[in-house]
Structures are given as C-alpha cells and as structure tokens.
Chain A
C-alpha cells in the first residue's frame, strides 16, 4: 500500500497554486488535509500525476464573523472548528457535529475545504453546508465565483468545482434567532462513516408556529440530500409529535434514496432516517423554544 509516483508542487501563494492547477488541469489534485486523498493514494485508487500541496499557502485558515456572516477559510482544520468559540455561539449545529467526524488525529489534519471538495455522500460537512445555507467561494487564475451549497454538490464524489478551480472560503449566515438545531447519526462505531445521519434546523415564531425548517440527510443518496417536502409539513404549524412523525415518515420514505452497503440495507437506512428525523426534530424544536425565552 504505497502511493504511485507523482510530481509534487508546494506553492506558497494562492496565485501560484492556481497557475499550477491551470497548467496541469485534470492530471493534478490539490492536497489539503489529505485524510481522504492519501488513503485513496495508498490503495492506488487515486493516482494523480501531479500533487499541489496548498498547506503552505498562507491565510487560508480562519474563522471570522462579518456582518452576520461566518467566513471560514478552506484550509481550516476540523479541529479548529471543533474548538471555535465563535462557531459554538453562531453556528452551534456545525460546532456540535464536528466531533462526529472520525477521530482526533484525523480532525487535526483534515480540513473543511478538503472534505467539501471530496464530496463523500457519507461525510458530515457537505450535509451541514446544505443545512446551513452555505455559499462557497472558488477561484481559478482569472476569476472568482460563489456557488450555493445545493449547486456545489452534484453527485457522488463530484462537485461543481472546475478542474482549474480551488475552493477558498465557506460563508455561512449566523444562526437566526428563535432557531433550534440538532445533528445525530448512527454509526457502527464512534468515528465511523454513519449508516445514516440527519441535520435539523427549526425556527419557531413568536406565535408558537413553525416559521422555518430544514432537514438534511447524509449517506442517503449520491450526495447530501435535503428533504424539503418533509420540512414543509412543519411550516406554519404548531409542532406536535404527530406532525414530527409525519415529517419523519415523509422524509425517510420519499425524499431519500439510500443505496445500502455492507453494514446496512437501504431499508434499515430508511428506518434509521425516520428514527433520527424524529429525534433531531424533537431536539431542534425544544432548543428553538428555549432560545425564544
């Protein structure tokens, strides 16, 4: 299990990195945290001819708040997310979910940008980006553009990123008032890829009715999946256990397409989706109520 040979570049500026990427195009891979890419290279599933290591590019790791928007540099390590007070205040859903990602040694190296670009349908961060209405800033050597999370994840291990583009930053709105959150997953062991995971956000109006709801599933299809119809069941309603049950049933039966794997059949994944939808919605509603007071 040794990687195939590759040409290695270690640019010290983003412009240099983009020029290299433009030059080598499809043959090149960006090395960020390497916690998914390097194992794939050790198995020789991935054999990039060129590796562009952006770990020495300055100013790509930061977590800032500007005008109610959280800006996270693409090379921010998962560990930095885990220990960020700012995230704990302003994006508790993200903050609470990070410890579900693998193990401390992996989070010390793994980056938010790397995980998003890898777009593993079973990974936590892509689903969270969808749940949090993230926008992603990408650039090639001539221009910069923003991509909304739903447009970014276009399939299994596939994103809207062009071969010459690098993901630079993730922008998230800070969590709205009167909003509760919850993230839960079921994994065979702590730190494993989840058999199923659900992120829920619920905003409760002053009148006690649901003003906004969002449900996103991971490992439920070929990318992170948002269950809009299930969320709509809650909108404008006072939340009851029955209503949550309907949303959970609808989301798990009609809005996800789990493939199954050696650990779980698609049927069991759907079952877990239903259970977790109930649990996350219940927790999110409770937290929204608490934050109202």
Chain B
C-alpha cells in the first residue's frame, strides 16, 4: 500500500472549530437552572480548624447550599490511591490521599474547607466572605530537610514521620568500582517547584437526570474513563449511569490528570443532592494553589569516571517534595531515578530517594514528570567531569552512549510502569553528529566564540542529551466504523488537550482505509462513546491509543475487503482502497463507495450467513509490554548581558528521535511547546514559598510564563529508530521538548560567563540568582 496520509504534514481537522470560537470547553456548558460553586480555602499552610460558622452565608440571598466536611456524611473519605507503590523490595510507602473538604486540620494553603453553592459565581464568592473559620495555626513544614528532623512538626500525626516513601534501586555495585575511579565528581543539585499553568483552569459541571437516573459530568480531565469509574464507585451508581465528557481542554500537561481532585468529587455529589446542575470553574488564583504542582528535589549525587571520561558508576541520594498528600504514588521520583541513567551505558548505579510530606500543594506529574531532575543530575555530572578531565563535553557524552548494537538495553531497575527499564531501540551518535553539524559546534567554539569574546560579548553554547520513556501501558482501545455517509468514525477513550489527536489519529485510520483525513471524525473523551481506557499521560496518546486505532482500522480494512470481495465476486488481492472507494483494480466500473458498502454490510431484510457481524466496524485494543524510549539532543547558543544578567537565546536546536512520525507538523509543535515550557522552567518560572508555607507569587504578574519575546525560533531535526514494540514503530514525543532544558541552560550559561569560575547546580535560575551565583564564585576565588 502506498503511504499517503501517515507521516504527512497535514493541517488539523479540529482547527476550524477552535479558530472560530465554536468549540466546546467546560466553562461553555450552560444548563437551565445551573448553580455555581466556590470554595473557602485555607489561608494557612498548617492549622487546626477550631470552628466553622456558615450561618451568615446561608442567609445571603442567592445562596442555595453550604457544605463543610461533616455535611458529607459517609461520602467524606480520602480519595483513591491512583498509582500504587512499585514492586521494589523494601520500599516504604505511606499512603495519604487528599480529602474532599478539610476536617479538623488543614495541610496546605489553598486546601478547600467549605463549599458554597449559589445562583451565580459572583454571589458564591460574596458568600465566602460571610463564612468565619477559626484556626489554630501550626508551624508549617516547608523545607524538606527540616521536615525529616526529629523535632519537625508532623503533617500526618498518625504516621509519626513526614516520610512519604523511601525507595532504593541498584544496578551492579557502585562501591566496588569506586577504588578504580580516576575521578569522582560529587555535588548537591537542587531543582525547585514550578507549575503547569495551562491557559484554561480546571472546571467541572455536573447534571443529574433524576428520571433516567443518569449523571453527566463535563470535566477538564485528561482521563475521563477513570473519572467515570471512580465517580460511579463513590456515588454507588453503575458505570452505565455515569457519563464523563472531557470536551476541548485548554491544555493539560499532567496536572489535569490528578484524578479525584476535591472539586471533581464534590460537584457531582452536590448536583445529585440538590437535583440541579452545578458548575465550578477554577479561577487563576485557585489554580496556583489548588491544581497540583511539580518539582522540588535535592540530589546528593556522585559519579565515578575512568581517565578517559567513561562512567564507571553513579551514586545518587535524593529528597523529593510530594506536598501535603501523595495520591499519585511515586511516579515523579521514579522517573527522576530512571532518568539519571540517561542514554549512557552505566554499569553501576545506586539510587535512593526519600519522598517527603510538606505543607504545600500536592505534587503530581507535569510535562517531563521528574525526568528533568534526573537528566539535570547526569548531564551536569558529565559537564563537570569533562571540565576536570579536559575532554570536550560532546566527546564525553559520545564515549558513554549506549552503542546501537546493545539494544534492547536493560537498565536493570524498575520504571514507573513497574516493569524493568529496558530501552527498546535507539542510535544516539547520529543524533549528536547531526546536532553538532546543525549548530556548527566546532566552528563556533574555534572561530566564532573567540572572536565574540574578544569583542567583549558573553556568548555561550550548550549541548545536552536525554532519553524519554514514553507510551507506557496499561492499554487503550478504539472503535473504527465506516458510516453510511462514507465518513469514518474513530472513537477512543483518551482525552485530548491540544495534541492534535483529531488529526494524527485520523491519519492512522486514513492510511488503512484509503479515506482522506478530513473525512474521518475522531471522537475522544466521551465515556458514552467509548467505554474503556486509561488516559492521556506519559506521552502515550500516539503510541498506545494510536496503535489501538491502527489495530481496529486494520480489522475494518479486512472486513471491507471481505465484504467487497463477495459484492464484486472478485478475489481480495485484486481489490484496492482509494479515496473513500473500494474497487477492482483496473476495472473502473467495478467500484463502490465505502458508505454504500457499509449499508450493504447492514442488511435490514433477508438472511445473512451465521456469525456475520453487521456494518464495517471493529473495536480493538493495544497494550504495550513496556514503554518505547525516545531520545534526543538539545543545543543552544545564548548571550548574557554580564551586567544586567538578562539573556538572549540566539539559536535553539532539537534533534529528536521518536521512531516513525505520524505528522511532522504536529510533532514540531509539540517540541516547540515543550521547549517553551522548559525555558520557563529553567529561567522564568519558580513557585516561591515563604517559611509559613505561603505561596508568594501565585498570579500571572509574578509567576512568569515565557512570552513570544522570550522563546526563540526552534530548529528541529529528526532521527528515526523504529520501536519494535508496536506495529507502527512509533514512540511518544509529548515531553521531549521540556526535559533537558535545565542542564542546557546551566552548561550554556557557564560557557557564556567563561571569565567566572562558576558552577550552576540548580534550576530554576533568573537574572537575580545568576548574579548571586557569579558573586559567590568571585568571592570564592578571592
């Protein structure tokens, strides 16, 4: 079959609706009699609730109901644990999941305490001011190291500790190779909190239809099927009574999957209680404290090298800040742990982490999901070693790459999907070579940079490498159906948040069925349309749902050939699918549209052969045995003003390998967006907490997302090592852009500020922090 749809830069099916403002987002849902919710949230990070007085609020005109924890009765219980601890020996895991409304004690600033339901959001917010909560404030647990001290206040007293988890993983024997090392590099690395800040805040609308006994929930979730199952369970309904719709979502990036947010649990329950539709739309002030955060790790890491810069082993002990609860298990720190290994052949590895409860917003995966932290550690260790051993920084990486003949490569540790971390395929040196050529590395460092330095310019170059574990299980499914109009319907259970699924999924089906992409209607995120699924996370949409669509479309193709073969009385191998038609090759008059054929496959009279299934449709599933590993190189040339410490990125390059590419246009967009978030993470965005656990910069005025002036033009190039783990050979790409930007900044800034002997061991930076690091380095030199 000739390739016409797969791998093409095809513009997106979903765009006309979005461009004309006619697409449905959750806040666009408007139902007769709809009520609006708002929440009293704790102003304290850590306090006992002594008393709550809601009497004044209930008297306010337009207020319909006010709920505190005790009003929920049996419905009040901690949320489910979303990801259980991994099967790793001696793992400690203390499960503490969030509660719908805080009772007795609040554990982070922003935790919901009272829910107000009123005729409008304006009135609901008025009523928040009528509610009096008496608190007895406690010292807040903010700093991870202090949290582990004997006399630290406890967040969950019954645990007797602030330790959320402890995991040790080993490969080889690090201690045994240490004596052989020519060089040991040991440093402390830190990585602070940030947040996803999707442009659309979260929202939930719920409608209970008493007569049909059905609950409909519109939710900005990345995992509608899981929410449907969970809500049915919580509310004592059958799954068939609950429909969850994730319509167009204004960006997800991970935090929209923290299933069973407090509001997500409460809004449907209240809609049933009051028998009226209820809407809650998070505002930006709430988003900064109520939607999950990411990051906050401190690594004490060391690496042993031989004299040629080959890594003999790595030893890393780190703390991970999980916030006040740990409903998402250990996904983020496990990712960090795995990514320290990078794309390097590391034979000895000792890694242990302690996840720590603090009085902060809950931490769950956000684009990159802890991979950044691991990549930061290993890439920085390599830079430091290269400097000590006087080896070019790209050469030290090359020497340590896993060679292409060693794949599949077993890292011998357990990954976030609970199976051993085995890289399926990869070929790293060509990616590095391509990057060096495209950024003109050798010419730059030999000719251009010295010239610029002579002119007094502070221009530096950086080159870093990373892998990205993508496309993990458990599974996704899809139903592909030829409609009688000839259009093709593709339905899957995942949600979509801008990744272009309406197009890339259509391309996969188009390839199988010979139907133009714009004649394929993709439906995602409606549990009434597709029952099964897990959700959109871990760069798995294209890999897992994509392959399910591939399998289902292939089944439909088989059926088309079979039905058409009978219809034309011609052998299947003489049939061809083309432009929505099926025809007998070289016989123009023997042709029928797929729509007509679909009607013939669904006779309304007469007899069919026993065992016949009507229509041209199929449902199939795909569950990978493990994830597919993407890889890549980021390179950058950056100029720094040595006085104001403002930066200007002159060139940015990504050479990336995610196997077979479905739509290069969409892939480029994913990479650009990831890099932009990575740049934000590296230099602009940092959630700043004070000692009382108060977030000091929870507005867009003070939490700085990069603007069009801060993100440079990004050049992309692609390698292609196909994944042997799925029929299409694809790997995920959603997080690739965001992962290695921190170490890239660190390396390039050190290079730009070559006249100062500085080491950048932390992310995020900003002008102020850079100035302090330079001052510290200068003072040390004195």
Determine whether A and B are in direct contact in the complex, meaning some CB atoms lie less than 8 angstroms apart: yes
Residues of A within 8 A of B (CB): 1-5, 43-44, 186, 188-193, 195, 262-265, 268, 271-272, 275-276
Given contacts A2-B125, A43-B285, A268-B771, whether A189 and B702 have CB atoms under 8 Å apart is no
In the bound complex, residues from chain B placing their C-beta under 8 Å from that of A272 are: 644
In the bound complex, residues from chain B placing their C-beta under 8 Å from that of A43 are: 285, 699
In the bound complex, residues from chain A placing their C-beta under 8 Å from that of B768 are: 195, 263-265, 268
Asked if residues A190 and B684 are in contact (CB atoms below 8 Å), the reply is no
Contact residues of A: prevailing secondary structure: loop
Asked if residues B709 and A189 are in contact (CB atoms below 8 Å), the reply is yes
Given contacts A4-B126, A190-B709, whether A275 and B696 have CB atoms under 8 Å apart is no
In the bound complex, residues from chain A placing their C-beta under 8 Å from that of B129 are: 4, 44
Name the contact of A275 in the complex, choosing from B126, B643, B706 (C-beta under 8 A).
Answer: B643
- Additional A-B contacts beyond A1-B283, A265-B772 (4; CB < 8 A): A1-B285, A192-B704, A264-B767, A268-B767
- Interface residue? B34 (CB, 8 A): no
In the bound complex, residues from chain A placing their C-beta under 8 Å from that of B766 are: 188, 263
Asked if residues A190 and B707 are in contact (CB atoms below 8 Å), the reply is yes
> In the assembly, what is the distance between CA of A191 and CA of B709, in Å?
10
Asked if residues B707 and A271 are in contact (CB atoms below 8 Å), the reply is no
Asked if residues A189 and B707 are in contact (CB atoms below 8 Å), the reply is yes
In the bound complex, residues from chain A placing their C-beta under 8 Å from that of B697 are: 262
Asked if residues A1 and B707 are in contact (CB atoms below 8 Å), the reply is no
Given contacts A189-B704, A262-B688, A275-B643, whether A268 and B772 have CB atoms under 8 Å apart is yes
Name the contact of B126 in the complex, choosing from A5, A195, A268 (C-beta under 8 A).
Answer: A5
Ordered nearest first, which 10 A-B pairs have the shortest CB separation? A1-B283, A275-B643, A2-B122, A268-B768, A262-B688, A264-B768, A262-B697, A190-B709, A186-B644, A262-B696
Contact residues of B: prevailing secondary structure: loop
> In the assembly, what is the distance between CA of A98 and CA of B710, in Å?
20
- Interface residue? B701 (CB, 8 A): yes
Identify which of B285, B688, B697, B767 gathers the most chain A CB atoms within 10 Å of its CB.
B767
Instruction: Output the least CB separation between B293 and chain A (Å).
Output: 16
In the bound complex, residues from chain B placing their C-beta under 8 Å from that of A2 are: 121-122, 125
In the bound complex, residues from chain A placing their C-beta under 8 Å from that of B709 are: 189-190
Name the contact of B702 in the complex, choosing from A1, A263, A268 (C-beta under 8 A).
Answer: A263
Closest to B708 in A: A190
Asked if residues A186 and B767 are in contact (CB atoms below 8 Å), the reply is yes
Given contacts A43-B285, A275-B643, whether A189 and B767 have CB atoms under 8 Å apart is no
Instruction: Output the least CB separation between B123 and chain A (Å).
Output: 9
Instruction: Output the least CB separation between B559 and chain A (Å).
Output: 53
Closest to B696 in A: A262
In the bound complex, residues from chain A placing their C-beta under 8 Å from that of B696 are: 262
Interface residues of B in 763-782 (CB under 8 A from A): 766-768, 771-772
In the bound complex, residues from chain B placing their C-beta under 8 Å from that of A271 are: 771
In the bound complex, residues from chain B placing their C-beta under 8 Å from that of A195 are: 767-768
Instruction: Output the least CB separation between B281 and chain A (Å).
Output: 10
> In the assembly, what is the distance between CA of A74 and CA of B407, in Å?
71
Asked if residues A189 and B710 are in contact (CB atoms below 8 Å), the reply is yes
Instruction: Output the least CB separation between B478 and chain A (Å).
Output: 40
Interface residues of B in 634-680 (CB under 8 A from A): 643-644, 646
Instruction: Output the least CB separation between B207 and chain A (Å).
Output: 23
- Interface residue? B284 (CB, 8 A): yes
> In the assembly, what is the distance between CA of A191 and CA of B704, in Å?
11
Q: List 14 A-B contacts (CB under 8 A).
A: A1-B125, A1-B285, A2-B122, A4-B125, A5-B126, A43-B699, A189-B684, A192-B701, A192-B704, A195-B767, A262-B697, A264-B767, A265-B772, A268-B772
Name the contact of B284 in the complex, choosing from A1, A5, A188, A189 (C-beta under 8 A).
Answer: A1
Instruction: Output the least CB separation between B121 and chain A (Å).
Output: 6
